[in-house]
Amino acid sequence: MPLWYNDPCLGGTVLGAWGASPASSKTLGERRDEAADQARTQLARSLRVQVQAMTKDFEGNRDDGTMTDRNQVSRVITDSRLEGATVRALWEHPETGEMLVWVVIDPKLLGKIEKGR
C-alpha cells in the first residue's frame, strides 16, 4: 500500500485525501475520475468541519446584530479550496485491481486562502 493510504495528509505537511474505485470494465480514466471524486468529497467533508467551526466563532464575536448564513459561507470557502485539489498519485492493487487515487490541495493555494481569511 502507498504511504498516503494510512496518512493522506503526510503528518500534516499537506491537506489530502484518497478515494477508491473497484476493478471493473470501466476505462482507466473513468475509474481515476470516480476515485478522485471520492477523494474530493472527503476533502470537502474535512474542510466543512473546519469552516463550520471558524464560522461559529465568527458569529459568536459579532455584536452588530447581523446574521450570516453559515451554510452559504461554508460552501463558498470549501468550493474555493477544492479548486486547487489535484491528483498527486494513483495506485492499483496488484491482486484485486482496486484503484486508489490521492488528491492534495496545492499548498501555495491553501496558503493564499488562509491569508485571505
DSSP string, 66-99: ----HHHHHHHHHHHHHTTEEEEEEEE-TTT--E
Whole-prediction pTM value?
Answer: 0.65
Q: Please give the tally of structural domains in the chain.
A: 1
pLDDT in tens, the chain (117 residues): 999 999 998 988 888 999 999 998 899 999 999 999 889 888 888 776 555 555 555 555 555 655 555 555 445 444 544 667 889 999 999 999 999 999 998 766 666 555 554
Q: Which domain holds residue 63?
A: 3-116
- Please state the separation of Cα 55 from the chain's center in Å: 18
